[in-house]
Structure 1
């Protein structure tokens, strides 16, 4: 509160006694209570930032940090992650993620794709939805990738200052994780043109439906009863029909750091939510196994796989990895036409390719929980970096050999 004084209250109203060195106030006969008045000042504006608490004791972080630009560009149905600006790409890398998570690679594989791009590669990720028909998925991925790639050959990537001439003639490689690794092998077997010169197969697995989905045989009758309920629940309804403002409000409440909704990313998230009902529908309609079946795929690979160079990557902790099995299938075929196949085991697990470089804010008090979380994050990110470096070093070794 501010004080304002009336004009009769002047400097002469005060005197200082030098002998006692104390300040005394002499009475002014003209000064009355009414001449000394106060007026309330407007309240000072106080900015209270909206915050979300983190694990550290007493720490709160702002919801609106400076947003970083997106590292990818959308082209047709694909995401393109270019190398650092001003650097000519060494090669084009087609990227396929795993089941479900492969539908939104910008969310689930963003860090790994950026690491590949920083090494000088132009990464083209092909999102796809889960289906029991792997043949259809492989053909769809092939067509979507080449539609995007042909567009880049024609117009380049102006957003990253990459001309069509800089893309034309580049080697084509491919990286696939989990179910994406299976689709890579299928593409390399169904087609005999426009194929990558090399495949990096990460955490390959192609188990029968009864093993991939526990109690699969009982799901068919169950889904025919449950699916109508699933489609009617509010959460599913929100996921498929929520407005952008609703989604933004939900993310804001959850402590999201995005300031503006990427409309295309919003559509991707909606498609991600649509996958489960789609799979449930296939089960309800009588689907009982993947098409082709895993044994049919293995026989097909033995006769038709024709990608010259293949790197199999498995992790030290991965109960569903089948790299050893697929190596036995592919090696005779690859060596029969003079190609080469290698296998390597890295530290990590089946989710290592999906780890993201999320910021872990630390408050004034550094707690044991902070230490543990940062240690685990550091270890996981290091394993992802080793994976990226292993793949890119292998690609570069092929360029030297050629």
Structure 2
């Protein structure tokens, strides 16, 4: 099985799916998730989950983006079911987001009627536009102009606190990530569903979910350069493997513990 494009989204289908993942990536890497997040999503797919990765282009109107990616996801699932590529019966649906993708899943869960078994929110980011987009801060513009995302960070927090309906959530923060805001999100979700919120702090940084497997071929003789190459590969891959394992453990603790 390999990635295939269906109605503008990228899909990975196992033979007998045990669940569906709706994946939304970060603001500047979300346009090609089948490439930028290829290793992580493929590994989750190999564990039995159908992956629907919905690309999007970032604008100031995050509400419109959230509505669009949800509509596209639901359309694709219906198409796959009609073609018998997904079973007609119930399959749990999980939202998985990275950075801005987390905000979109939070908006979807707060504003639309959906059925989600849970959300995995990795490196949540909800900064205002003037911090999230450096160019905006450098522009010599009238400060009264509204250069802000819709909804704003504060409006997003209020929506989550008052309306968020997805009960089970895994928040993942990396210990070397200066733009992660999971620690601000956690208490909001705790007020909604205190017993069903898990916060994990893992080794890595904001780009860890984009890690790709590196193949290092040694020559006829093992050299110091080969030793460095294998050490570098192990260090780079270790954080990505840990992230994958924790995601799969949360999705299905019974299978992952075997």
Select which of 158, 181, 197 maps to 1:341: 197
The answer to whether the aligner puts 1:170 opposite 2:98 as a matched pair is no
For the residue of structure 2 that corresponds to 1:101, the secondary structure is coil
Residue equivalent to 1:303: 162
TM-score (norm 2): 0.90
Residues 13-52 of structure 1: matches in 2 within 5 Å?
Answer: none
The answer to whether the aligner puts 1:378 opposite 2:237 as a matched pair is no
CA drift at 1:340 = 1.2
Distance 1:399 1:302, change over 3 A: farther
Contact 1:80–1:124 at 8 Å: present in 2 too? yes
The answer to whether the aligner puts 1:94 opposite 2:22 as a matched pair is yes
Residue equivalent to 1:73: 4
Residue equivalent to 1:23: none
CA drift at 1:156 = 2.6
CA drift at 1:184 = 0.8
For the residue of structure 2 that corresponds to 1:152, the secondary structure is helix
Distance 1:220 1:334, change over 3 A: farther
Residue equivalent to 2:41: 113
CA drift at 1:370 = 4.2
Q: Which moved more, 1:211-220 or 1:363-372?
A: 363-372
Deviations 1:217-275 (A, max 9, x none): 33365xxxxxxxxxxxxxxxxxxxxxxxxxxxxxxxxxxxxxxxxxxxxxxxxxxxxxx
For the residue of structure 2 that corresponds to 1:102, the secondary structure is coil
Provide the C-alpha distance between the structure 2 equivalents of 1:386 and 1:201, rounded to a whole number of angstroms: 16
Provide the C-alpha distance between the structure 2 equivalents of 1:212 and 1:156, rounded to a whole number of angstroms: 42
CA drift at 1:300 = 1.1
Distance 1:374 1:130, change over 3 A: farther
Select which of 184, 187, 190 maps to 1:328: 187
Residue equivalent to 2:112: 191
Residue equivalent to 2:103: 182
Deviations 1:170-197 (A, max 9, x none): 11111111111111111101112x3321
Residue equivalent to 2:82: 154
CA drift at 1:364 = 4.7
Deviations 1:349-369 (A, max 9, x none): 111110111333444565544
CA drift at 1:215 = 5.5
Residue equivalent to 1:387: 243
For the residue of structure 2 that corresponds to 1:156, the secondary structure is coil
Q: Quick check: which has more Rg, 1 or 2?
A: 1
Provide the C-alpha distance between the structure 2 equivalents of 1:152 and 1:296, rounded to a whole number of angstroms: 35
Q: How many residues of Structure 1 are paired with residues of Structure 2 in the alignment?
A: 253
Provide the C-alpha distance between the structure 2 equivalents of 1:379 and 1:365, rounded to a whole number of angstroms: 23
Residue equivalent to 2:121: 201
Unaligned stretches of 5+ residues in structure 2: none
Unaligned stretches of 5+ residues in structure 1: 1-69, 158-163, 222-285
Provide the C-alpha distance between the structure 2 equivalents of 1:298 and 1:137, rounded to a whole number of angstroms: 18
Distance 1:361 1:395, change over 3 A: same
